[in-house]
Structure 1
Amino acid sequence: METQRRYDIDWLRVIAIGLLLIYHIAIIFQPWAMFIGFIKSDELLEGLWKPMTMLNVWRIPLLFYVSGMGLYFAMRKRNWKQLLLERTKRILLPFAFGFVAITTLHMFIFQKYYNLPIGYFPHAGHLWFLGNIFAYVVVLMPLFFYLKQNENGRLQNGLSHLMGSFAGPLLISIFFIIETVVVKPQPFAMYAQTWHGFFLGLLAFLFGFLFVYSGKTFWQTVLKWRWLYIGLAAVLFGIRYFIYATEAPGYLMAIESNCWIFGVFGLGYKYLNHPSKTLSYLSQAAYPIYIIHMFVLYAGAFLILPMTIPVFLKFIAITVFTVIMCYLIYEFILRRASFLRPLFGLKWISKNVDSGEIIEPQRSKI
């Protein structure tokens, strides 16, 4: 079977995790930061939250979509036992290790910053995402292998036909709208360790798989209509921002979220689907950096917030500190210490590590 590397999907994963770092650093400068366990700056930058309100409806759902796509490609050369073992090593092991050894670190820094009694309590923290993904793999694997065994059948052809029009991908928003009606999330972007985050992620993971399963038609559609999706998303964001003070009814935010995501998929397919050494490195680094970034940015806040410099420079300094320290920890510790690698989602052997790029099967009918 001919294959084509999907560099754009790898790039989108890297970019989404990069945006996650900026998003979490911006929280430090918001008045409600302590309510969700973040160190809070005494000086605020509430203006930072304006662009964040645009990002927060699609950045996490995008990662769930990409994760579902990644599972499709992982299944191409694995049976269910091999897949479950591989996902246990790559997702469940880092999640369990992070639960007891990584997420506690930033809480130690939080306690020290506020002169609280130092106490140890394991918790999922920002790694809730990994727990959700592993649960989706277990729950949906029977369905996915059934679909794999019936490729080129009526269901796949029907999905391919449905994805051939502008409205095709948007129709799945009906399921996301139903989720918001039933769960009633408050606010919409509260994904972490909530039923809303679990069910929204489940839907995005499922449809990410189905989009790739349906063939190349989906990608041709988002490529053709990318600016229309982005334009519709921008209009919905404008309505949300100016009429609803950034928290619109759930059904509108569900549609807006998918419009942003489909537009981003189209842009990625157009401009990012090519190899580079930078991508090869970053696609390996993104996962371990996601795991460690929280305690690094807390350490940055601990050191930089007490400084007598303008507040915006504090934001820049924490950002630079977080990026540099994450790179140094990854490059000189996690990447090189063989016994640590599997605990952070990397392979045991550091030499000749493959790029982790996603492979898309070429169908003869396309």
Structure 2
Amino acid sequence: MTMATAPSPAPVPDGPPTRLDFLDWVRVGAFGLLIFYHIGMFYVSWDWHAKSGHASPWAEPLMMLSSPWRLTLLFLVSGIATRFMLAKMSPGRLLRSRLARLGIPLLFGMAVIVPPQSYVEVVEKIAYPGSYWEFWGQYLRFYQGFCRDGDCLILPTWNHLWFVAYLLVYTLILGAILITNRDWSRLNPLFRWTEGPLLLILPWLALAGLRLGLAPIFPITHALVDDWYNHALSFSAFLFGFVLARRIGVWENAQHLRWPALILGLAAYAGLQLYYTTYADRDPPETLRAAMRCVYAAQQWGFILAILGFARRHLNHRPPILPYLSRGVFPFYILHQTVIVCAGHGLKQLGLPAGWEFIALMAVTLAACLGGYEIIRRVPLLRPLFGLPYTQLP
């Protein structure tokens, strides 16, 4: 998942951009935001694997500022990264590379990294009395008896690693298409609109259509086989990024549209918060509910386009720290949620005030992820388990 920063010197039909360092910054920032979002999940009233004793709804509006778009942005950037990888290798080699760099961490994560999250969950929700090692043995035997009010925990699970599983599946589908046809030049006329004002409008309308048509029927499950709205949203973003990656005019246009996009996103966010507050304890009219799905899509695309535009304007440079951060985001991502769940569960037992508990959880999460990354990148046997190449890059 490492973002390529320089295109292949060979000419390509859709014209390679000269600099895309800003997309590395976007990727680092998006994964960093995800870590803080999951720390927030420990404190809001929404259901999660573990909850603080101080959990309350007060931070939920802040969480909803990023929840519509953060993962869609990650799939978009992943599609862009895949396009640059394809400039360096054949579709077959791309598939082999992705199977190793995504598949190995996924399997390792499900067997080793994720189980502590599930253990904490059964301890907190059903007061499981056994040790972790007893639980892990049941986990590896696919035990399905951890239930509460008819809702059973499906084991084994991938929890936050669903993103890795979905990205692997999308890459395999794309690779199969590429093996049969690698010439994307015929698509150029279909995407000329991305270099004008329609870049602000058409993706918004597409996202609104998906939310109106599929979201009410297929709620997001992260279970792969029944997650059709999420697939339509995430795979579309992945393909959109892949197709647009090497079009110079798209990124110039995103920079030009950054302020209108930000205004659109902020206005949509304000409208949604007013809607949620007004109808917190009663059902809205169905017509209004449908309209607000379109507003939700406006927040999604407005913030995504604004982030891309502002990043190109202000972050299109490559300081020495960027390669270190860019290579570190995947190990950080694999580790972070287990650290948050386990550390949060432990801190809760100390009875700290909310502010001190939050600060301690942030400090422990960042320190554990950074320390883990420093160990992982120095140990060749660990590197492939966390999505890094066996040989350390300089």
Q: Deviation string for 1:270-297 (max 9, x for gaps)?
A: 1111111221111111101101111111
| Structural mapping, 1:47-126, within 5 Å | 47-112=58-123, 115-116=127-128, 117=130, 118=135, 119-120=138-139, 121-126=155-160
Q: Work out whether 1:302 is the aligned partner of 2:345.
A: yes
Structure 1 residues 162 and 102: alpha-carbon distance in aligned structure 2, compared to 1, 3 A threshold: same
Q: Within 2, Cα distance between the matches of 1:287 and 1:277?
A: 19
AA matched with 1:138: L
1:183 corresponds to which of 209, 214, 218: 214
1:205 corresponds to which of 220, 227, 238: 238
Q: Deviation string for 1:175-233 (max 9, x for gaps)?
A: 32222223224898x463333222210111011112224x1111111101101100011
Structure 1 residues 75 and 55: alpha-carbon distance in aligned structure 2, compared to 1, 3 A threshold: same
1:4 corresponds to which of 18, 36, 56: 18
2:245 match: secondary structure: helix
Indicate the residue corresponding to 1:357 in structure 2: none
Indicate the residue corresponding to 1:347 in structure 2: 389
AA matched with 1:28: F
Deviation at 1:304, TM superposition (A): 1.3
Deviation at 1:148, TM superposition (A): 4.2
Aligned residues with identical type, % of pairs: 27
Structure 1 residues 102 and 48: alpha-carbon distance in aligned structure 2, compared to 1, 3 A threshold: same
Structure 1 residues 144 and 5: alpha-carbon distance in aligned structure 2, compared to 1, 3 A threshold: farther
Indicate the residue corresponding to 1:364 in structure 2: none
AA matched with 2:378: R
Q: Deviation string for 1:304-354 (max 9, x for gaps)?
A: 11223321221121011100111111102x11221111111001022xx15
**More moved, 323-332 vs 204-213:** 204-213
Structure 2 residues not aligned, in runs of 5+: 1-8, 11-16, 140-154, 281-288
AA matched with 1:89: A
AA matched with 1:303: G
**More moved, 46-55 vs 112-121:** 112-121
Deviation at 1:156, TM superposition (A): 1.2
Structure 1 residues 162 and 249: alpha-carbon distance in aligned structure 2, compared to 1, 3 A threshold: same
Indicate the residue corresponding to 2:3 in structure 1: none
2:18 match: secondary structure: strand
1:184–1:250 Cα contact (<8 Å) kept: no
- TM-score, scaled to structure 1: 0.87
- TM-score, scaled to structure 2: 0.81
Indicate the residue corresponding to 1:363 in structure 2: none
Structure 1 residues not aligned, in runs of 5+: 355-366
Q: Work out whether 1:293 is the aligned partner of 2:336.
A: yes
Q: Within 1, Cα distance between the matches of 2:255 and 2:239?
A: 21
**More moved, 98-107 vs 136-145:** 136-145
1:67–1:205 Cα contact (<8 Å) kept: yes
AA matched with 2:173: V
Indicate the residue corresponding to 1:313 in structure 2: 356
1:176–1:203 Cα contact (<8 Å) kept: no
1:221 corresponds to which of 253, 257, 267: 253
Q: What's the C-alpha RMSD, in Å, of the aligned pairs?
A: 2.3
Structure 1 residues 221 and 109: alpha-carbon distance in aligned structure 2, compared to 1, 3 A threshold: same
Structure 1 residues 236 and 144: alpha-carbon distance in aligned structure 2, compared to 1, 3 A threshold: farther
Q: Within 2, Cα distance between the matches of 1:326 and 1:210?
A: 33
1:191–1:198 Cα contact (<8 Å) kept: no
